Structure 1
Amino acid sequence: MTWQEELRKLDEELAAGNLTADEYRARRDRVLSMAVSTGDQSQAAAQPAQPQAPSTAADTQIIAPVSPPAQPDQQAGSAEATQVVSAADAAGAERTQVVPQWQQQQQQQHPNSPSGGFPQPMQQPPYAQHSPAGGFAQPMQQQQQNPWGAPQQDASPPWGGSEFPPLAPPSNNADWISQGPESFQTQPSSGKGKKIAFAVVAVLVVAGLGFGVWALFIKDGGTGSAPPVAQSSSPQPPPAPTVKPLPEPPAPKPEPGDNSSALVTPAGTTRAGGGEFDMDKLESAKYLPTTVIEKAKSGGMTEGLLKTTKDGDVTLGLFALEMPNAQAAAAVAAEYGNAEQEGGLTVNRNLSLHGVPVYSAADSTQQVYRAVYVLYNRVIIIDSFGPSKDATLSSFKTLLTAQVQKAPPTERTNN
């Protein structure tokens, strides 16, 4: 098998994808090296030995410029042209190089051509011709129009075949400019959408102005009278509820000397169980809610007094809890209000006074009204309950008014 056939076989295997690009280049260089070695031996045997002048490696090699291409009548006598090399160059490491005529034309047209020259178009080089340094052109490939060393080179991978386009299409196809990475980039908007949007906005503005002119001057017969002001369709927020201020009790009076002088005597018949008590008796009798008793104990209650009567079917009660100071008394009064609300009673603003909150509750069997306030360092509690609403409410109002008149509150924190 000749080296041309081996090259053709390598090209077929590369096109079929049986070889990688590296394997193809390695095997092609090996075949070309063998072909060059064979051509050198045959040429050396055909040429007689020539005397060589002694020379050194430091001598300057001068190569004469390539002669211009010969005319057609001059080309008829010889198929090849010989480059003239000076005698000093002949003594060096290189010899006269036989260059084909078509290669001289390529060198004149392309001064930057590779050292190995360009492949001979449309024909295979003869056996005896030396292989150029860059190798022979690959047959049956696109490189006949794009020889080695040209700017455009087919670097398509061997696995491309017909399924993938070549990386460097032919030079006569201008569509290659649109291929490559830039073809995948997003093209900038032409601005048609913005122009359409501006046009729509302009039309709407003009239509609005025309409608305004018609509504002002044409609709009412050209009188030019201003249209009535349109009422806002959005709902107005409701006005803030006005809270009626609580009635003011009488002004504070001097501090009473003891618990008995701080309380009035309720109407009705005295009930058993009343009188003075200390902390131990308060805990055992459980006159008040548990949380209130605990707050009074932690606050340091010293002594207390209970006045209780029976006014018909209504039971009335008055408590005075003496504390070390006004702050402790205020804490017990606040805890009493919390305990009543947790027990189901609600604040009754219709009966409350400034500084005297009233709590009430009603069910089918019992009516309850209670009040609490601070008198200096004492906690005053007013209690009323009975089966009849009218009787219970009437007795409570009477007792509340009498107690506040006798000893008005000194702490007025509720509003």
Structure 2
Amino acid sequence: MTWQEELQKLDLELASGRISADDYRQRRDEVLAGSTSAPPQPQQQAPFAAPFRWQAMPPQQQAPNPDATQVVSTGQAAPNPDATQVVNTQKAGDSERTQFVRPVSGPEPQQGGWQSGPSAPPPWVGGDGGFGPMGGSTPGWIAQGPETFDDAGKSSGKGRIFAIVGVVLVLALIGGGIWWFTTQSGGGGNGGETTAQTTTQTTSTKPKPKDDLDIVALPGSQEDQSGIKTFEDIVAQKLLTEEENAVYATGGATKARVAVSKLPNGDVIQVITVQLTDATAATTAREALAALQTKFNMKTYTGGTIPEDVSAHQIDVEGDKKGSARAHYVHKSTLVRLQVAGKDQAAISKDFDSVLAAQLEFLPSGS
């Protein structure tokens, strides 16, 4: 076996990982030491034109290095495209200089920055980044020696591990997203039925009284009674009889408020609130006014249900004479008077019950 074949065998063993880099160097030096007298082997001319290769720098631009290794890419076909052929290119007095010839197979690269000949270097040339100058005669990314095989194997193994971990993470995220959306949108233990839970917050839209004299909003067409603010204004407007005015005055009437509304059916609603001295005075006035209603030929109200602390009376409709329903009750120190008048007894009772219930809810009876 020639020394070239022995070197080629060493290259194959190193590439396959059967020997280490240190063993490779030691055995290579032994083969080269025993081949100093062997004549150089003539190279066969490649049947095809030489493919692209990076041009080596002129020898005069680099300092001579007896230990340098020159790597030249040729187009010669070899039995093994991955094999590295070593030929002796030593000169007299240079026993350590060797030349590595790497077979190159496959078509020449086309577009994308690859050009043959001493044209402009590719765009990524400009900084070695730790790999050596790509435009040099021995590019660092080629002439790294046998350590290159070890580093490449380690890098590729790490790359595969990172790729597997990344795929596992992506699958875990996708599975978690599917679980989240399915559990949130339904799909529980009810046979796949979707259960929606809705929290409803109830907000009361009913108006609240501004004070103890406030009157609930009446239905129908409102009349402007904003000018009445005291009991003296009620007396001036002659809204009550003389006897009724005397009862209010005895109770110490001060502030007052009036609301009047006409309904589409012709019924007229009137609500009067008057502030008296206190709850006792208001209760006494309510009882006195109830006695006056009987004196006015009004009878006890027979329409809807009336609370015990509310006195209610009525006058029935007779011919063209209007009928009415009237109530008095006490809210704290306020005496409330409510009346509905009209020409239809059923309509009067219906409207009276409705307005009285609303006013009682707005200003409840009691002290």
Does the alignment reach a TM-score above 0.5?
no
- The structure whose Rg is larger is 1
Structure 2 length-normalised TM: 0.40
Structure 1 length-normalised TM: 0.35
